[in-house]
């Protein structure tokens, strides 16, 4: 296993610059946004969501102000996201936004636009998500809320990765890092995510030296400020493996992806669908690596593991990989 202080391999050439498969786009979201993961509960109607719906009905019956009703819808939308109910969250955000147009409600409006934008991102509506995220960014800029500005630049970067606009993704990730640096932010997870997003963008542009340097910087952050078995650490190892492999540096690539898998497997505290989804994402990357290195017996065993996980995953979770990632992004403070 490579350790801190390692010299970045001299690989500035584009050894693999073909366009990524749809799988890689999905995996990018998961691996980057694992660093935003919170301990979410299984999808169910929470007592809080029931209470919020009762409060909304009461406020509407009493003809409360639009701002008050909109704020309640926003709370309900966020509650649905916490419980992985994205269809209901989308409906609640859609209710909230038209009610939050007054100047006094701009912070809530920015939050709602961010939330709905992340739901759109999770369901493949990337251009629509970008429109909402940019509107949210402008509002937070007016509010001089630079921490949210940094977060939204990162969200936009991920959307550009999905659309294969790698130069734009790199620029937005760099904006995130610049904002965090100017704020002297101690948010290690956000900085790590931006570095790894930029690493992916640089890999796909054939700029391997910069990509590997980004993963090295992320490793320093993870090693210095995060638990060794954290999901942020899993994010790093999966991303490092990807950068090494795609840049033609196979030394350490397999070790790294297996380390990511080991960490993910240790998180039995996650809801089962999420655990399976993250495990599936890492295994799929490992499978692509094994196929690329022509290791057919090992690839066959990993394919069997993937089939077993896919059989176990509930039908409602057929796209949980993307949903969970976007949820994690949306729930940033």
Assigned domain for 4 exists: no
The average pLDDT across 299-303 equals 95
Q: Does residue 30 have a pLDDT over 60?
A: no
Contact indicator for 206, 13 with CB cutoff of 8 Å: yes
108 is a domain residue: yes
Q: Fill in the DSSP letter of residue 36.
A: G
**Which residue range forms the structural domain that includes residue 26?**
22-330
Residue 183's pLDDT is 84
- Residues 240 and 274 sit within 8 Å (Cβ to Cβ): no
Say which CATH number the domain at 61 has.
1.25.40.10
Residue 89 lies in a domain: yes
pTM score, whole prediction: 0.78
Contact yes or no for 215/178 (Cβ under 8 A): no
Per the domain annotation, does 121 fall within a domain?
A: yes
Span 228-284, pLDDT tens digits: 888 888 889 999 999 999 999 989 999 999 999 999 999 988 777 778 888 888 999
CA distances 7 to 3, 149, 218, 326, 327, Å, are: 10, 33, 14, 34, 36
Q: What is the per-residue pLDDT across 179-202, written as a single tens digit (0 to 9) for each?
A: 988 888 767 888 888 999 999 999
- Closest by CA to 89, choosing from 104, 103, 101, 74, is 74
* 1 in a structural domain: no
Would you call 7 helix, strand, or coil by DSSP?
A: coil
pLDDT band at 315 (very low <50, low <70, confident <90, very high): low
Task: Please say if the pLDDT value at position 12 is more than 90.
Answer: no
- 16 is a domain residue: no
Under the banding of pLDDT at 50, 70 and 90, the label for residue 314 is: low
Nearest to 260 by CA among 60, 11, 5, 30: 30
Instruction: Report if residue 155 sits inside a domain.
Output: yes
Domain count across the chain: 1
DSSP count for the chain of H helices, then E strands: 15, 0
What percent of the chain has pLDDT above 70?
80
Give the pLDDT confidence score for residue 245 in this predicted structure: 93
Give residue 45's pLDDT. Answer: 53
Specify if 9 maps to a domain: no
């Amino acid at each position: 296993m490579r350790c801190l202080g390692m010299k970045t391999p001299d690989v500035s050439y584009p050894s693999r610059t073909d366009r990524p498969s749809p799988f890689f786009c999905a995996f990018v979201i998961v691996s980057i946004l694992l660093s935003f993961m919170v301990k979410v509960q299984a999808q169910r109607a929470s007592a809080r969501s029931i209470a919020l719906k009762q409060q909304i009905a009461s406020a509407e019956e009493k003809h409360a102000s639009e701002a008050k009703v909109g704020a309640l819808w926003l709370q309900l939308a966020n509650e649905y996201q916490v419980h992985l109910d994205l269809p209901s969250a989308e409906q609640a955000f859609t209710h909230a936004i038209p009610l939050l147009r007054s100047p006094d409600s701009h912070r809530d409006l920015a939050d709602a636009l961010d939330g709905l934008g992340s739901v759109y991102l999770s369901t493949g509506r990337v251009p629509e998500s970008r429109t909402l995220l940019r509107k949210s960014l402008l509002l937070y800029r007016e509010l001089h809320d630079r921490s949210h500005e940094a977060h939204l630049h990162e969200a936009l970067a991920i959307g550009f990765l999905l659309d294969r606009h790698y130069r734009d993704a790199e620029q937005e990730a760099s904006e995130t890092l610049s904002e965090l640096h100017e704020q002297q932010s101690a948010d290690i997870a956000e900085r790590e995510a931006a570095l790894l997003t930029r690493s992916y963008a640089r890999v796909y542009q054939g700029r391997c030296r910069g990509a590997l340097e980004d993963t090295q910087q992320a490793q320093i952050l993870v090693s210095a400020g995060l638990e060794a078995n954290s999901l942020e650490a899993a994010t790093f190892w999966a991303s490092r493996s990807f950068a090494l492999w795609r840049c033609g540096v196979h030394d350490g690539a397999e070790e790294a992806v297996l380390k990511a898998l080991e960490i993910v497997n240790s998180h039995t505290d996650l809801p089962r669908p999420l655990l399976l989804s993250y495990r599936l994402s890492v295994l799929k990357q490992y499978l692509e690596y094994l196929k690329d290195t022509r290791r057919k017996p090992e690839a066959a065993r990993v394919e069997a593991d993937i089939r077993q996980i896919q059989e176990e995953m509930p039908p409602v979770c057929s796209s949980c990989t993307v949903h969970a990632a976007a949820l994690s992004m949306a729930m940033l403070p």
